[in-house]
Amino acid sequence: MPEVPHLAGPRQRTGDLVFRRALLSVALFVVAVVLLLAWSLADGSRLTWKSLGPAFLWSKEWDPVQENFGALPFIYGTLVSSALALLVAVPLGVGCAIFLTELAPRRVADACTFLVELLAAVPSVILGLMGIFLLVPTVRSVEPALARWLGWSPLFRGEPYGVGMLTAGLILTLMVLPYITVITREVLLAVPQPLKEAMLALGATRWETVVGVSLPFARAGILGGIFLALGRALGETMAVTMVIGNTPKISASLLAPGYSMAAVIANELAEAASDEHLSALISVGLVLFGVTIAVNGIARLLIYRVRKA
């Protein structure tokens, strides 16, 4: 982005100085919020870390009544549902982006891009509503078939509840699909025309140009988009909690109900029975905070490298 010109003179007028300082103090508020947020999460979870230590992260039991707190079921649930979502959303999103950049005529592509972006604007709770009343019954009716045909693998065993990891993964797919599509489309549009033309001039088909030139060129950006989508999926709360089953158990099967970090916080924070319970929930929040920063940091690095080019 271009540098904005401003007075570099030795003497700044007072009006300009006051103006700059005032704006700075407002902008620094944002930094203060981040620091305060980190501190308050750390402070609120101190009880848990003191009494349980890092074992909190890999303990499987979550029983507020017995005051047993282990975050593993939620970490597991969050990771698995997000991974599942990416597994489906990445090919779909990239395919959709290729359609928008290579296939569709300009006006159709513009309209479709707008519609895909609209999908990102649908509030999470509404997607959850769709999840409960449309997706869950559908999955419930499909699950017996899955269990029968794929039940040899531990991934598809269990009762057809309808709610569970599979459903959560599918609903998350809907949420992250627009992000992957939009970012992939952006980076594909940024592939230099001369590069593509060189490939075409060698006699390649348009598809071969996409695979041979465009996708490799856009690789870092697409990866960045995937990490961004992952960050989104990890923190997604409402849609997930409405379809995942809210059971703090770890199971290999995708058909089994599970739990996620964001979901347990949403369900239990308001009625946290004891200080230990509250602290455990805030600790889960701290884990979510840390994971999000890490994933988004990677995403930003990848996308930044693309924007520079």
Partner 1 sequence: MILEAQALSAGYGGPPVLKSINLQFREREITAIIGPSGCGKSTFIRCLNRMHEITPGAELHARILLDGRDVMKMDPVLLRRQVGMVFQRPNPFPTMSIFDNVASGLKLNGLGDRRRLAEAVEKSLRSAALWDEVKDKLREPGLSLSGGQQQRLCIARALAVEPRVLLLDEPCSALDPIATARIEELLLEIKKELTLVIVTHNMQQAARVSDRTAFLLMGELIEYDETQKIFTKPSDRRTEDYITGRFG
Partner 2 sequence: MNSYQRRRWTQAAMFAVCALCAAAALAGLFTILGYIAWHGLSSINWGFLTRLPKPVGETGGGIANAIVGSAKIVGLAALMGAPIGVLGGLYLAEFGSNRTGFIIRYAADVLNGMPSIVMGIFAYTLLVVPLKRFSALSGSVALALIMIPVVLRNTEEFVRLVPHSIREAALALGVPQWKVVLRVVLPTAAPGILTGALLATSRIAGETAPLIFTAFGNHFWDNGLLNPMASLPHTIYTYAISPYKDWHAQAWAAALLLMLFVLAVNVSARLLFRPAGGAR
Interface with partner 1 (CB under 8 A): 3, 5-9, 13
Rounded Cα distance between 237 and 168, Å, is: 11
Partner from partner 1, partner 2, none binding residue 8, C-beta < 5-8 Å depending on class: partner 1
Closer to partner 1 by Cβ: residue 5 or 203: 5
Rounded Cα distance between 207 and 24, Å, is: 50
Closer to partner 2 by Cβ: residue 4 or 65: 4
Q: Would you say 171 and 240 are in contact if contact means Cβ atoms under 8 Å apart?
A: yes
Closer to partner 1 by Cβ: residue 20 or 148: 20
Restricted to residues 157-216, the positions that interact with partner 2 (CB under 8 A) are 174, 177-178, 181, 186, 205-208
**Sign of the alpha-carbon dihedral angle for 232, 238, 244, 247:** positive
Partner from partner 2, partner 1, none binding residue 55, C-beta < 5-8 Å depending on class: none
Closest CA to 235 of 262, 269, 263: 262
Closest CA to 72 of 48, 55, 53: 55
Rounded Cα distance between 88 and 220, Å, is: 20
Restricted to residues 9-68, the positions that interact with partner 2 (CB under 8 A) are 13, 15-16, 18-20, 22-24, 26-31, 33-34, 36-37, 40-41, 43-44
Closer to partner 1 by Cβ: residue 13 or 219: 13
Restricted to residues 222-281, the positions that interact with partner 2 (CB under 8 A) are 228, 231-232, 234-238, 242, 262, 265-266, 269-270, 281
Closer to partner 1 by Cβ: residue 14 or 66: 14
Partner from partner 1, partner 2, none binding residue 2, C-beta < 5-8 Å depending on class: partner 2
Burial (CB count <10 Å: 0-12, 13-18, 19+), residue 11? exposed
Return the residue matching tokens 């992952």: 230
**Cα-based angle 112, 226, 59 (whole degrees, multiple of 5):** 135
Give least dist CB 37 to partner 2, A. 5
Closer to partner 1 by Cβ: residue 3 or 271: 3
Closer to partner 1 by Cβ: residue 7 or 65: 7
Report CA 11 to chain centroid distance, whole Å.
Answer: 48
**Cα-based angle 111, 115, 121 (whole degrees, multiple of 5):** 145
Say whether 63 sits in a helix, a strand or coil: strand
The structure tokens listed for 162 are 């309808």
Region near partner 2 per CB under 8 A, out of 2-10, 57-65, 147-155, 157-165 = 2-10
Q: Does 4 bind partner 2 (CB under 8 A)?
A: yes
Report CA 260 to chain centroid distance, whole Å.
Answer: 13
Give least dist CB 4 to partner 1, A. 10
Which of 122, 147, 195, 200 touches partner 2 (CB under 8 A)?
Answer: 122
Q: How many binding residues for partner 2 (CB under 8 A)?
A: 95
